[in-house]
């Protein structure tokens, strides 16, 4: 029976894919208003048309492929390189389709937005404001500093730097906190991941309410899906949400995901079909580890996880420098 159980696990959990070839990485992306996704899966370059129709691409010459399968079977698909080296257009049946701008420029690790107003002006207003009142009984506010639990939990707190979606420093200290039950659950996930060669890299956890207000007031209307409404409070404000990714224990380097962190594009969605097999596998490994410990992934942000009891905690507005180092 035990051997049968192991066999069942082996067919349910996919093994780690090989990285996509470098020459394909320049082609992978999405093209057109009704996107054609060029992705890598199981060592093959694939064109996905709409929600389900796909063709495997067989290379004929440099930048020229033949579609195999689907309604485009036998058609030539060619890629045209732009100034940055990666493909800027594809040609299908004589029709040119432009690459969609859904990723940062090469060499840039963060997609940014232009704030509606100066950040320092918004900061003064946010600090002077007060969180919305709440009714009902709440659990005690008991924040735990994550790096105190295990030194292997690493931090890359983007909001303590200018390397974030607003390009401004929002936090005065690079620290990360969660409510005690959520912190203990995250620790279990981190230790379970060690068996696969990974650790957790934290981008953000507890967030003072005034920072959520800055985010909301700075973000254009078409990007507001990326931020929480301060009138409701964020799950981060309650100390029960975390933004994170994986890093490799062997190298200490963050893994590559389908999108960058805090990216306001469809690539950030948890079920985005594009990218490479290894990127999507990393995303799945993170999700499996977190959900097994009571966290729920935000469907629009692969990096964002809410703890199961988030709505039982009050909105917090305590600044990091006001939280003792225990």
Burial-class residue 151 by CB neighbours within 10 Å (0-12, 13-18, 19+): exposed
pLDDT beyond 90 at 10: no
Q: Is the pLDDT at 4 greater than 50, yes or no?
A: no
Q: Is the pLDDT of residue 16 over 70?
A: yes
β-bridge mates for residue 45, sequence order: 40, 57
The predicted-structure confidence for 64-106, as pLDDT tens digits, reads as follows 999 999 888 999 999 998 877 889 999 998 899 999 987 776 6
Q: What confidence tier does 237 reach under pLDDT thresholds 50, 70, 90? A: very high
- Determine the pLDDT at residue 263: 85
Task: Determine the topology of domain 13-98 in CATH.
Answer: Lipocalin (2.40.128)
pTM of the model: 0.90
The greatest distance separating any two alpha carbons of the chain, rounded to the nearest whole angstrom, comes to: 67
Which regions of the chain carry the CATH code 3.30.1380.10? 119-131+139-322
Domain with CATH 2.40.128 in the chain: 13-98
pLDDT for 62 beyond 90 = no
Q: Into which CATH architecture does domain 119-131+139-322 fall?
A: 2-Layer Sandwich (3.30)
């Amino acid at each position: 029976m035990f051997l049968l159980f192991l066999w069942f696990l082996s067919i349910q959990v996919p093994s780690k894919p090989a990285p996509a070839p470098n020459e394909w990485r320049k082609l992978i992306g999405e093209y057109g208003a009704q996107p054609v996704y060029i992705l890598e899966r199981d060592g093959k370059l694939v064109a996905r048309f709409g929600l389900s129709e796909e063709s495997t691409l067989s290379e004929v010459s440099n930048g020229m492929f033949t579609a195999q399968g689907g309604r485009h079977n036998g058609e030539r698909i060619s890629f045209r390189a732009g100034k940055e080296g990666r493909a800027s257009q594809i040609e299908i049946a004589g029709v040119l389709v432009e690459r969609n701008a859904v990723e940062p420029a090469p060499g840039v690790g963060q997609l940014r937005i232009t704030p509606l107003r100066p950040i320092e002006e918004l900061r003064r207003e946010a600090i002077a404001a007060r969180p919305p009142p709440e009714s009902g009984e709440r659990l005690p506010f008991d924040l735990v500093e994550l790096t105190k639990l295990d030194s292997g939990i690493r931090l890359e707190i983007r909001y303590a730097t200018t390397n974030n979606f607003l390009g401004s420093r929002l936090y005065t200290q690079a620290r990360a906190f969660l409510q005690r039950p959520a912190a203990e659950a995250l620790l279990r996930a981190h230790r379970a991941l060690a068996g696969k060669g990974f650790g957790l890299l934290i981008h953000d956890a507890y967030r003072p309410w005034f920072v959520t207000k800055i985010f909301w007031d700075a973000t254009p209307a078409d990007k507001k899906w990326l931020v929480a409404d301060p009138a409701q409070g964020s799950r981060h404000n309650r100390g029960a949400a975390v933004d994170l990714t994986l890093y490799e224990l062997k190298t200490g380097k963050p893994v590559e995901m389908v999108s960058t962190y805090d990216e306001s594009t469809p690539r950030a969605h948890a079920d985005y079909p594009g990218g490479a097999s290894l990127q999507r596998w990393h995303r799945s490994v993170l999700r499996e580890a977190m959900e097994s410990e009571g966290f729920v992934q935000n469907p629009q942000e692969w990096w964002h996880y809410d703890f199961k009891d988030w709505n039982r905690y009050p909105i917090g507005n305590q600044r990091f420098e006001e939280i003792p180092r225990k």
